[in-house]
Amino acid sequence: MKKKGQRAFALVIVTGIITFLGALIAFNSIDINLGRTWVETIKMQRKAYYMALAGVEAARALLKNDSDEDREQGRRVDFITSELDPNEEVWSHASEIPIPMESSDGIRGTVGGVIVDETSKINLNMLVGGDGRGLRFSGGMREHPRVALVKRFFEIMGIEPRIVDNIIDWIDEDSEGIAESDYYLFLEHGYEAKNAPMDTITELLLIKDIDDTTFLKLTAGGTQEARNDPMYSPYLTVYPRIQPVGGYTINVNTAPAEVLMSLLEGIDEEVAQDIINRRQEEPFMRPGEFIRYLDEDLGLNLTRQDKSFLSEIVGVHSNYFSAKVSALVEGYSCTIRVVLERDAQGDSTILYWRVE
């Protein structure tokens, strides 16, 4: 009985070992298969990444070409066109429709991208002067025209314009105001006011009185798109962060109606539409041409102050662009988002970079 029991036990152990070995072999083969899949996954992901990278280079080349052509024609102007336009601006209709691509080892994929002009938007960093101080009032009690511009935009979007003062406090370097560290540090998860230029549009969500609803209204007219893709807010930008040599400008050849209406009190929906119709026929070649169009052709009777502000803020060319490039290789995708600064020679530097 004792022997039999021992044998049975031995058998159990042997069987146990076999089972265990069996499991080990099975596990190893899973591991091997898994290994192959991993190698394959990494390889394809890398292919997709390099194809997207090629797409970013293509976007930079489009911007460079556009600048070279403009210089050849002795002009510096950027506008939105269709492919049918004889003066087409190729960058403005870079398409999300993917273009087939093949790598040197025969792997096929597609790449598509879109370029957005950041100069067509209102830059929130312009609420602060070059010295880091918030622009509140200029000469007596009149609000600084740049602040008035942003407040008009808030009104157009149906948001309390006083919130703009909180954005000024957030960016300006001092700590005097209602919406400064003294306020934010006492919140449940307290933090300090930034007291520096904004780096992303999503920073708005940290600012006093800006909740989700307000944020979505400001960035994309209330859609969820803005949250997933803050760079593509059609109206607001933070580029450039620091005031450029020529000052902050808005390109009136590319700005959406809501932005055009924010420029001046007298630009209503109808005037904005007139501007859009006019620039579709013929883009504005110089800021002065735009001012004259408002003053004389549309009879807006601009004041001296209006004209002086417009000659500061109105631009007809663009230096800041965001681009989104997506590559798809055998089911693996890679998206690269960049913000580019184009210099006078047409070369672009990358200001923002994100890989998804």
212-251 residues in contact with Ca ion (CB under 5 A) are none
Angstrom distance (rounded) from CA 125 to CA 171: 7
Among residue numbers 155 through 174, which ones bind Ca ion (CB under 5 A)?
169, 172
Rg of the chain over Cα atoms, rounded to whole angstroms, equals 28
If the CB atoms of residues 138 and 195 are measured against Ca ion, the closer one turns out to be: 195
* 100: helix, strand or coil: strand
Instruction: Tell the smallest beta-carbon distance from residue 340 to Ca ion (Å).
Output: 14
Is 117 near Ca ion (CB under 5 A)? no
How far apart CA 215 and CA 204 sit, in angstroms, is: 7
Q: Which of residues 51-70 bind Ca ion (CB under 5 A)?
A: 66, 70
How far apart are the C-alpha atoms of 239 and 305, rounded to whole Å? 26
349: three-class secondary structure by DSSP: strand
Nearest approach, Cβ of residue 344 and Ca ion (Å) = 13
Rank residues 70 and 225 by Cβ distance to Ca ion and give the closer one. 70
CB of 75 to Ca ion, least distance (A): 8
78 belongs to the binding site for Ca ion (CB under 5 A): yes
Cβ at position 355, least distance to Ca ion in Å: 28
Question: CA-CA distance, 79 to 254, in Å (whole number)?
Answer: 5
Helix (H) or strand (E) segment spanning residue 213: helix 212-220
For the chain, counts of helices (H) and of strands (E): 10, 9
CB nearer to Ca ion: pick between 135 and 157: 135
> Between residues 48 and 323, which has the closer beta carbon with respect to Ca ion?
323
Residues with Cβ < 8 Å from 63, sequence gap 6 or more? 91, 115, 321, 340, 342, 346, 348
* Beta carbon nearer to Ca ion, 134 or 230: 134
CB of residue 328 to Ca ion, shortest distance in Å:
30
Residue located via tokens 């998860």: 189
CB of 89 to Ca ion, least distance (A): 5
> Binding string to Ca ion for residues 244 to 283, with x set by CB under 5 A, is what?
----------------------------------------
Min separation Cβ 318 and Ca ion, Å: 8
Torsion sign (Cα): 224, 227, 231, 235: positive
Binding-site size, Ca ion (CB under 5 A): 7
Which candidate, 109, 136, 77, 123, places its Cα nearest to that of 318?
77
Q: What does the alpha-carbon distance between residue 58 and residue 39 come to, in Å, rounded to a whole number?
A: 29
Rounded to the nearest whole angstrom, what is the least distance from the CB of residue 354 to Ca ion in the complex?
26
Binding mask 173-212 for Ca ion (x = CB under 5 A): --------------------x-x-----------------
Instruction: State which residue, 77 or 329, has the beta carbon closest to Ca ion.
Output: 77
Footprint of Ca ion on this chain (CB under 5 A)? 66, 70, 78, 169, 172, 193, 195
